[in-house]
Structure 1
Amino acid sequence: MFLKIFTVFAFIGAASCAFAGEQPYNEAQFTKAISHGQPVVVWFHASWCPTCRAQQPIVDRLAGSAEMKPVTVFVADFDKETALRKSLGVAGQSTFVVFRHGREVTRSTGETDEQAIRATWEKAL
């Protein structure tokens, strides 16, 4: 019985990871995605930021949605990813930088309306 329960929970955990479109920023993976022209959103997040906390459930819903499945969402720690911040010219946390075909197409800072965030992300597709 224990093995059966363990197997079910393992499957649920694996399935949730498979559908989650967000991942911690990784320079090599980001560079690869951009160079291959994949749709990418980089979210500059800070744990201390109230706007980021308000964005989190929206990001989770969008990243896990079927329509956004092709989009890779990299979560960049605003305080740690200073080189990335500088290279992209990002001045504030709670910023989404959206790429399509290897080029930045739009960005948004401080937005907490789900439809507005969705519209921003859709530009990656």
Structure 2
Amino acid sequence: MSVTTFRTATAAILLSVVAFEPGLALAAEILPFETAAFEKAQADGKPIVVDVAAPWCPTCAAQKPIIEKLAADPAHADMQIFQVSFDDQKEVVRALNAQRQSTLIAFDGTKETGRSVGDTNADSIAALFASTKGE
């Protein structure tokens, strides 16, 4: 077996172990907003970001790849991101006091740590995500 083949085989084995390790989270969970799941994440003291968005909103569309990139970062592996439909979940929108679509709300458990509206700057959205861990 050549060194290159050995390295490739070793890398494949390591990736398969990491990929199938039970309980090992490599990315934040992105979930549709459900009150019970949100309240459980808060009670568990999880870092949380709530994304209030609408499919017709160009600002929301600009935020989406930033949120997905941050969600994929292992630094946010224990985070839960809840997506609220601005159009279809009006009661939740009101309860969160979200006046507009493109609202991002960060929580460290039950404590709100930050909020932004209409922000498409990757650095400030990353800072909002970081605020969920008291950073």
Q: Same fold (TM over 0.5)?
A: yes
Deviations 1:4-44 (A, max 9, x none): xxxxxxx9xx98xx735211111111010112221111000
Paired with 1:103 and 1:84, the residues of 2 have a C-alpha distance of 17
Aligned to 2:92: 84
Paired with 2:99 and 2:119, the residues of 1 have a C-alpha distance of 15
Q: Residue 102 of structure 2 aligns to which amino acid in structure 1? A: S
Structure 2 residue corresponding to 1:72, chosen from 56, 69, 80: 80
Paired with 1:65 and 1:111, the residues of 2 have a C-alpha distance of 20
- Structure 2: give runs of 5+ residues left out of the alignment: 1-15, 21-25
**Matched pairs, number:** 112
* 3-state SS, counterpart of residue 74 of structure 2: coil
Aligned to 2:54: 46
**Larger CA Rg, structure 1 vs 2:** 2
Runs (4+) of structure 1 moved beyond 2 Å?
A: 18-21
Paired with 2:92 and 2:113, the residues of 1 have a C-alpha distance of 17
Paired with 1:104 and 1:90, the residues of 2 have a C-alpha distance of 13
Partners of 1:41 and 1:121 within 8 A in 2: yes
| TM-score, with length taken from structure 2 | 0.76
Partners of 1:36 and 1:102 within 8 A in 2: no
Q: CA deviation at 1:101?
A: 2.9
Partners of 1:23 and 1:73 within 8 A in 2: yes
Aligned to 1:58: 66
Aligned to 2:125: 117
CA separation of 1:40 and 1:20: change in aligned 2, threshold 3 A: closer
- Structure 1: give runs of 5+ residues left out of the alignment: 1-10
Q: Residue 54 of structure 1 aligns to which amino acid in structure 2? A: A
* 3-state SS, counterpart of residue 122 of structure 1: helix
| TM-score, with length taken from structure 1 | 0.82
2:109 pairs with 1:101? yes
Aligned to 1:7: none
Paired with 2:77 and 2:70, the residues of 1 have a C-alpha distance of 9
Please report the RMSD computed on the Cα atoms of aligned residues, expressed in angstroms.
2.0
